[in-house]
Amino acid sequence: MADQSQKAETFELNNGTMNVLLTNLGCTIISLSVPGKDGVLCDVVLGLDSAESYQKGLAPYFGCIVGRVANRIKDGKFTLDGVQYSLPINKPPNSLHGGNVGFDKKVWEVVEHKKGETPSITFKYHSHDGEEGYPGDITVTANYTLTSSTTLRLDMEGVPKDKPTIINLAQHTYWNLAGHNSGNILDHSIQLWANHVTPVDENTVPTGEIMPVKGTPFDFTSEKRIGDTINQVGMGYDHNYVLDCGEEKAGLRHAAKVRDPSSSRVLNLWTSAPGVQFYTANYVNGVHGKGGAVYEKHAGLCLETQGFPNAINQPNFPSVVVRPGQKYQHSMLFEFSLE
């Protein structure tokens, strides 16, 4: 068990162009400021004022890393090597984002914090066998680095000790490229390099089907304003997209491009993961955020690259099982630009 006497503290990564504020509570991005067309820095992530506010559970997974397994596990049950495991049902009838006290609610150890041109910080957490119902000890690390003037890279790793387990980490930042307190993201446009989506049942769990997006409101294969079709998908988008058509560079594939017309800010996201949960903050409702901001429905959008939800119970989905001697790895690249 990690030593929870460690305090939740805040740390800064600053390269002179962009500035990121993080806390070791859940490896959470509290703020991320990048220039807009006027050169003015603007904070483009939803967040709270202090680490204490996050500890009180006031944020719906703002900015954090979720685990041991991101997204939903159907009925909180799975079988691994013939043994059935039961997880907390913290989002009835399913288990969500690692259970009642997932990785987002843990104080991680700060292994290293580097300043300079490519500043970085590395967080580490030991999750023990049986924690939140999951089998096996696993040591996880998360490294955030400003790799260029307007690029943030996240590398996540998980090393199991002596038992097989399941792991699927996701970065749950809510983005609003017009500024975190600018209103909703319906005028943002987005392109997703995904020809397929995994449709869900009434409890937001994938049915196992892999459905072409062509001719549906889920089609973002060419750039499209989010507000144009959001009313055709119930409360909003909250779906896992199959990243099957993005070009590759340096071992990562292009997942998404988000554009805000008002500031000219663009975010390009690259990942090593097979899927991305596109979520339009459908359940955010009067959350009191930093600087007096009040966040309402659709105040931000999440692009949570991930293994597919409920993959452990869907044999046709890519496996999320990691065995001793293997290593879980997941990298994300957030590239900001103006156009």
What are the tens digits of pLDDT across the range 103-132?
A: 999 999 999 999 999 999 999 999 999 999
Structure tokens at 194: 């995904």
What are the tens digits of pLDDT across the range 306-316?
A: 999 999 999 99
71 is in an annotated binding site: yes
Beta-carbon neighbour count of residue 231 at 10 Å?
Answer: 11
Which whole number is the average pLDDT over 42-61?
94
Contact present, 192 and 224 (Cβ < 8 Å): no
What are the tens digits of pLDDT across the range 265-281?
A: 999 999 999 999 999 99
CA-CA-CA-CA torsion sign (277, 280, 282, 285): positive
pLDDT for the residue numbered 236: 97
pTM of the entire predicted model: 0.97
Catalytic residue, chosen from 97, 131, 132, 172, is 172
Residues 6+ apart with CB under 8 A from 180: 31, 43, 44, 45, 46, 47, 289, 290, 293, 295, 299, 300
Residue 304 designated active-site? yes
**pLDDT exceeds 90 at position 36:** yes
pLDDT for the residue numbered 252: 98
184 is in an annotated binding site: no
174 is in an annotated binding site: yes
Residues 6+ apart with CB under 8 A from 66: 97, 98, 102, 103, 104, 169, 170, 172, 304
**pLDDT exceeds 90 at position 4:** no
147 is in an annotated binding site: no
pLDDT for the residue numbered 6: 80
- Which ranges constitute the DSSP H helices of 214-327? none
What are the tens digits of pLDDT across the range 278-303?
A: 999 999 999 999 999 999 999 999 99
**pLDDT exceeds 50 at position 95:** yes
Assign 5 a pLDDT band (cuts: 50, 70, 90): low
Residue 128 designated active-site? no
**pLDDT exceeds 50 at position 1:** no
